[in-house]
Amino acid sequence: PFEVRTRLLGWDDRAFYLEARFISLRDGFVCALLRSRQHVLGTSPECVVQRLCKRRVEPPELPEDLRHWVAYNEASSQLLRAESGLSDITKD
């Protein structure tokens, strides 16, 4: 058995970044770590947070390793779009 602890790491202009830790109830060991990017359609994460908190909230600075992961994903997406002949299409 394990416990899942999820936290919001932050957000940028397009997405929220979440972390889920799967922690063993036997010894407290982190069995798995999941980080995900959740895109927002039709609005921005900033607007969602502002509406929920009823005030403007500055996003926390993303951890350095997460910033590297985001940059890697963007570079990988650009390469895949170029390979597919979609490099001229901009992604929102």
| Per-residue tens of pLDDT for the chain, all 92 residues | 999 999 999 999 999 999 999 999 999 999 999 999 999 999 999 999 999 999 999 999 999 999 999 999 999 999 999 999 887 666 55
pTM for the predicted model, two decimal places: 0.81
What b-and-e string marks burial along 6-25, b requiring 16 or more CB atoms within 10 Å of the CB?
A: eeebbbeeebbbbeebebee
Q: Please give the Cα distance from 1 to 82 (Å, whole number).
A: 44
